[in-house]
Structure 1
Amino acid sequence: MPPTKPALTDACPCGRAATFAACCGRYLGTGLPAPDAEALMRSRYTAFVRGDVAHLLATWHPSQRPSTLELEPGIKWLGLDVKRHTPVDATHAEVEFVARSRHQGRGQRLHERSRFVREDGHWYYVDGEQLT
């Protein structure tokens, strides 16, 4: 099953009450930096929904970024719930979230606390700790 490509006027996959164009669409493929770690986290979730590997790699901190990224085919992303956005200081933040998906008919749930860093006006995903 190919990734879902929402139209600009569709609801944003990240779950905010906004269109894709007014929400995460502003950051995917545009070079416009997300204003905070939560917005970046939401745009990364949307990139998974859309199969946008370029955005995922571009927003991954160079110290942790893989040289390539292959998304597992057949995953249907069902929703994102941001539990907490915690600014640590002006250049570090954490975002706790639950992302739900279905793969080969089985429901999956990813509960993670992700770490982000801000450099040169851009937020980057550093790494994450899976929670139960």
Structure 2
Amino acid sequence: MSQPCPCGRLNARGRPLAFENCCAPYLDHGVDAPDAESLMRSRYSAFVLERPAYLLASWHATTRPPELTLDPGIKWLGLAIKGVKSIDADHAEVAFVARSRVGGRGQRLEERSRFVRDDGRWLYIDGEIV
């Protein structure tokens, strides 16, 4: 059996989706995420798998940093999507909680991320810590 996707998405039976059937097409095969939630999940998986190039490529040019260095000391523990809000056809927000451990201490990142569909492709704009 293949590895479950780091993003934690479940199939219709409530079982974890395999990485190959979930975020791998976006991270490994250049497929564009079909919606803001899928992009959010794939970006979380990119953090878990330490793929800064994907994170930068899925970040809107107006807010993207020139480079991104990931902290190798972070162990990501799980993602919970709290809500998805469609603003209009090309704008959406995804509220989530990402749990991690740094130096043995548990941490929680709760954020409301904003996404835009630019030329048919969903991109991360920014996030507000909640």
Structure 2 residues without counterparts, runs of 5 or longer = 10-15
1:67 corresponds to: 66
User: How much has 1:29 moved relative to structure 2?
Assistant: 3.1
What amino acid is the match of 2:2? T
2:102 corresponds to: 103
Structure 1 residues without counterparts, runs of 5 or longer = 1-7
2:4 corresponds to: 11
Q: Deviations over 1:3-32 (max 9, x none)?
A: xxxxx9200000112100000011003221
Task: Tell me the secondary structure at the aligned position of residue 62 of structure 2.
Answer: coil
User: How much has 1:33 moved relative to structure 2?
Assistant: 0.5
Identical amino acids, percent of aligned pairs:
61
User: How much has 1:89 moved relative to structure 2?
Assistant: 0.4
Q: Considering only aligned residues, what root-mean-square deviation do their CA atoms show, in Å?
A: 1.0
Task: Tell me the secondary structure at the aligned position of residue 67 of structure 2.
Answer: coil
Hey, what's the Cα distance between the residues in 2 that align with 1:18 and 1:65? 30
2:55 corresponds to: 56
Hey, what's the Cα distance between the residues in 2 that align with 1:52 and 1:124? 16
Task: Tell me the secondary structure at the aligned position of residue 44 of structure 1.
Answer: helix
Hey, what's the Cα distance between the residues in 2 that align with 1:42 and 1:36? 10
